[in-house]
């Protein structure tokens, strides 16, 4: 009881937090550049991760991800509006023999003004900037490479990301079903003043599993998750740099012809606020979900268990309260540190059985490009 009261006291002092911890240091986008036309570069991204879940519930497993990923790519700036890339994604888990996964990286990126069209490897996972109940942050580690087509608009007022991620392609006849994930992530800034910033985020994912050339008797499945929210940022001076609040109504719908899920529709309230300081950000989140399911969201928020020992377990109403601390810093040029500590409490448990469980993460990211071939200068 004392720990529970202390947890609520900390939460009331710092309010609740922004929905998502900043991922700026983890993003890496390669785009056409008119000043580099004709250049050939070697792009190197090293992503070192440790993500640990000290979870003891029936919804999400407790486990640790600890390893490194390396992405070397050749980048050719073929035109002021076009860049072509080719490379490899290598994934090594510490404590395991050999390389866990090797994936090819091919992409074509065309940019005209504020719009970008990408075909091949997408700017995926965290680059979509979706909330965790819809799109799990952990996919930066477990599902880092997405293939398909993506259309982006980025300017001072709008971030718009529409994508098709072809997760599994099948050949005739196939023993498994094809899988496709489509999505839209948008954020429109209504106010951009120095005293207050206001924006409206809209997010949508459509997951489809099926096809017409497979031999499996499993029925077709189509799931839709959507979110609409309101984001407010108030810049401050002194110890606190800014106050933020970010709140969403998130929905789930099962549009499958044959419904086999425990729930056919549901929703959740994702309410957040918090503060940024020179020593990191202190954040919190309140989640109240009812019959909520997401094929790509973080398991902790869902009403259907993904736990290895509790398959089929359901909790129709999920009430969670979280307190998060994060710290991001550029250590030297091209090298970034990202640390996170995220305790939470399940308010759906009986009062005498509530426990504080937590996850902690640390990421070390190195990203840099090296010039291999200069453009030929005509005389």
**273 found inside a domain:** yes
To which residue do tokens 């899920």 refer? 261
Count structural domains, the chain: 1
- The DSSP element (H or E) to which 141 belongs, if any, is helix 139-142
CATH number at residue 359: 2.40.160
Q: What is the pLDDT of residue 206?
A: 98
Q: Which domain holds residue 36?
A: 2-373
| Phi, psi torsion values for 126, nearest 5 degrees | -65, -20
Q: What is the pLDDT of residue 5?
A: 42
Q: What is the pLDDT of residue 352?
A: 85
**122 found inside a domain:** yes
CA 122 to each of CA 60, 107, 144: distance values in angstroms, whole numbers, following the listed order: 28, 8, 10
- Parts of the chain with a pLDDT under 70: 1-22, 377-379
Give residue-wise pLDDT tens across range 263-275: 999 999 999 999 9
- The DSSP element (H or E) to which 4 belongs, if any, is helix 2-14
Give residue-wise pLDDT tens across range 115-125: 999 999 999 99
Evaluate whether 88 touches 107 at the Cβ level (below 8 Å): no
**50 found inside a domain:** yes
**378 found inside a domain:** no
Cα–Cα dist 357/354, whole Å: 9
Give the chain's end-to-end CA distance (angstroms, integer). Answer: 79
Give residue-wise pLDDT tens across range 296-308: 999 999 999 999 9
**379 found inside a domain:** no
**181 found inside a domain:** yes
């Amino acid at each position: 009881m004392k720990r529970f009261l202390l947890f609520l006291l900390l939460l009331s002092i710092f309010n609740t937090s922004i929905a998502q911890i900043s991922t700026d240091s983890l993003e890496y986008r390669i785009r056409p550049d008119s000043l580099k036309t004709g250049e050939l570069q070697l792009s190197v991204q090293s992503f070192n991760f440790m993500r640990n879940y000290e979870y003891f519930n029936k919804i999400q497993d407790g486990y640790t991800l600890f390893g490194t990923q390396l992405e070397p790519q050749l980048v050719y700036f073929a035109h002021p509006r076009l860049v072509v890339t080719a490379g490899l994604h290598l994934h090594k888990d510490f404590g395991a023999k050999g390389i866990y996964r090797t994936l090819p990286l091919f992409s074509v990126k065309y940019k005209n003004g504020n719009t970008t069209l990408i075909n091949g490897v997408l700017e995926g996972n965290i680059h979509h900037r979706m909330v965790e109940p819809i799109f799990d942050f952990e996919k930066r580690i477990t599902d880092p490479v997405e293939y398909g087509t993506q259309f982006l608009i980025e300017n001072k007022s709008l971030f718009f990301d529409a994508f098709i991620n072809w997760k599994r392609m099948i050949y005739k006849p196939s023993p498994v079903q094809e899988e496709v994930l489509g999505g839209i992530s948008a954020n429109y800034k209504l106010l951009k003043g120095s005293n207050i910033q206001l924006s409206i985020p809209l997010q949508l994912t459509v997951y489809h599993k099926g096809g017409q050339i497979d031999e499996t008797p499993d029925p077709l499945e189509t799931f839709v998750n959507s979110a609409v929210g309101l984001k407010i940022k108030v810049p401050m001076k002194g110890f606190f740099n800014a106050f933020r609040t970010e709140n969403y109504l998130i929905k789930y719908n099962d549009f499958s012809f044959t419904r086999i899920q425990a729930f056919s529709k549901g929703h959740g309230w994702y309410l957040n606020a918090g503060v940024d300081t020179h020593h990191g950000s202190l954040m919190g989140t309140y989640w109240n979900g009812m019959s909520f399911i997401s094929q790509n969201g973080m398991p902790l928020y869902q009403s259907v268990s993904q736990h290895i020992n509790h398959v089929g377990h359901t909790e129709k109403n999920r009430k969670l309260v979280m307190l998060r601390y994060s710290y991001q810093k550029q250590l030297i040029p091209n090298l970034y540190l990202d640390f996170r500590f995220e305790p939470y409490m399940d308010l759906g448990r009986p009062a005498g059985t509530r426990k504080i469980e937590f996850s902690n993460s640390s990421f070390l990211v190195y990203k840099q490009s090296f010039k291999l071939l200069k453009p030929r200068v005509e005389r």
